[in-house]
Structure 1
Amino acid sequence: MPATQPVKKGRREPVALHSHAMDNLRYIRRAMESSASFTSVPGLAGIVIGITALVAAVLAGTRFADQWLAVWVADAVFALAFGGWAMTRKARGEGIQLSRGVGRRFLFSLTPPLVAAVVLTVVLQRMGASEAIPGTWLLLYGAGVVTGGTFSVRPVPVMGVSFMILGVVALAAPPSWSNALLAAGFGGLHIIFGAIIARRYGG
């Protein structure tokens, strides 16, 4: 009687290893996408934006005091355009698409408070409550930076909180302090945190 041979069962280890390897690859890909989008915030652009804000503060506080709102709005338009260009340029240099992944969430989180600031600027100006505009700008910009900074490097949300604190101070302070507080926020904070980001995470 021939000896029976044990039936060899198929080994499942390769399947398990393959599945585990794929999970690791997906995790690595997500981690790489997250870290790449974090560094897309341009520090050097923040310094430039801060310098132009200081120039705007000087102009709005002296020669163009009667047109302070127009001066700051012009500076805000430049800051948004230049900052957007610098972020896009840095992201392309690193092979990152800001229209997807964490970069997209960063932009979508930053945008709504900025839109709210634009709407409230128009409303407050029409109501004759322009003295509340600087505090509103600082507070809402800070809120946008905090929410967007959730997907960015650590100094970004810290900067946002600093802006919000200045916004509260500006809303409670006399109107004569407004220009100085705008300079401290959009000028000083951008320069300080821009330098930190540029040094730690590249320009």
Structure 2
Amino acid sequence: MRAGETASDKNADPIALYDRAMDNLCFIRETMERAVASTAVSGIGLVAAGVVACIAAPMAAAQSARRAWLGVWLIAAAVAASVAAATMWRKARRLRTSLLSKPGRKLLLNLSPPIFAGALLTCELARRGDFDVLPAMWMLLYGAGVITGGAFSVRLVPTMGACFMVAGAFGLLFPAWQNVLLAISFGGLHLVFGALISKNHGG
């Protein structure tokens, strides 16, 4: 018997040892993937999205027509989403990983359904001319998506989602504050949490 080798090691089934080793390797790989994916959310991208929302809020409030108001926010959403996606891709590239890793896919799959539902509901409510509920719906659905998707990210991300849902609840109670709440949530929350993520999790 070699030094350091126990009787149980000597008598163990080689196939069982191989399976155990492969399980350990898979566990280590998934743990490393989760660690990398947890920092894939770009704080800089969230800050940029917050700046876009802060610019859009007074522009939207100045519109006399409701469809023009909606147009301002839809353009802002498209710009913010593009910037956030570009900064996340850049951060993932810097970390030498992929946004489509297993944890990254889980994040996207959990975030996408509420966003898709929000897009469909926005089209239908706008067609009916029912604009008053849109801000609260946006904040609630976005917050729900961030919470579920944030389960595979750092703790700050689902916390931000919960804050969005609180803002959405206020939007239902106080519809007259819709532009203020949109500025506070999509502007202020993105700025605050984006800065914290950038500071604590590498950009």
Instruction: Mark yes or no: TM-score above 0.5.
Output: yes
Q: CA 1:161–1:12 in 2, change beyond 3 Å: closer, same or farther? A: same
Work out the CA distance in 1 between the residues paired with 2:121 and 2:22. Answer: 49
The C-alpha deviation readout for 1:57-78, integer Å capped at 9, x for no partner, is: 011123x343211111000001
Corresponding residue number in structure 1 for 2:36: 36
Work out the CA distance in 2 between the residues paired with 1:96 and 1:70. Answer: 36
Which is greater in Rg? 1
Work out the CA distance in 2 between the residues paired with 1:192 and 1:65. Answer: 31
Work out the CA distance in 1 between the residues paired with 2:84 and 2:111. Answer: 13
Q: How does 1:22-33 map to 2 (within 5 A)?
A: 22-33=22-33
Work out the CA distance in 2 between the residues paired with 1:140 and 1:71. Answer: 19
In structure 2, runs of 5+ residues without a counterpart are 1-8
SS at match of 1:95: coil
Corresponding residue number in structure 2 for 1:51: 51
**Structure 1 contact 38–152 (Cα < 8 Å) conserved:** yes
Task: Kindly state the Cα deviation for residue 104 of structure 1 after the two structures are TM-superposed.
Answer: 0.5
Q: What is the aligned length?
A: 192
The C-alpha deviation readout for 1:126-154, integer Å capped at 9, x for no partner, is: 22210110011001011110110011111
Corresponding residue number in structure 1 for 2:93: 92
Corresponding residue number in structure 1 for 2:75: 74
Work out the CA distance in 1 between the residues paired with 2:134 and 2:19. Answer: 56
Work out the CA distance in 2 between the residues paired with 1:40 and 1:65. Answer: 40
Aligned-residue CA RMSD in angstroms?
1.8
SS at match of 1:131: coil
Corresponding residue number in structure 1 for 2:109: 108
Task: Kindly state the Cα deviation for residue 23 of structure 1 after the two structures are TM-superposed.
Answer: 3.2
Letter of the structure 2 residue corresponding to residue 23 of structure 1: D
**Structure 1 contact 159–189 (Cα < 8 Å) conserved:** yes
SS at match of 1:150: helix
Task: Kindly state the Cα deviation for residue 12 of structure 1 after the two structures are TM-superposed.
Answer: 2.8
Work out the CA distance in 2 between the residues paired with 1:61 and 1:159. Answer: 25
**Structure 1 contact 143–160 (Cα < 8 Å) conserved:** yes
In structure 1, runs of 5+ residues without a counterpart are 1-9
Corresponding residue number in structure 2 for 1:11: 10
The C-alpha deviation readout for 1:65-112, integer Å capped at 9, x for no partner, is: 432111110000011111111111111221212223000110011011
**Structure 1 contact 46–194 (Cα < 8 Å) conserved:** yes
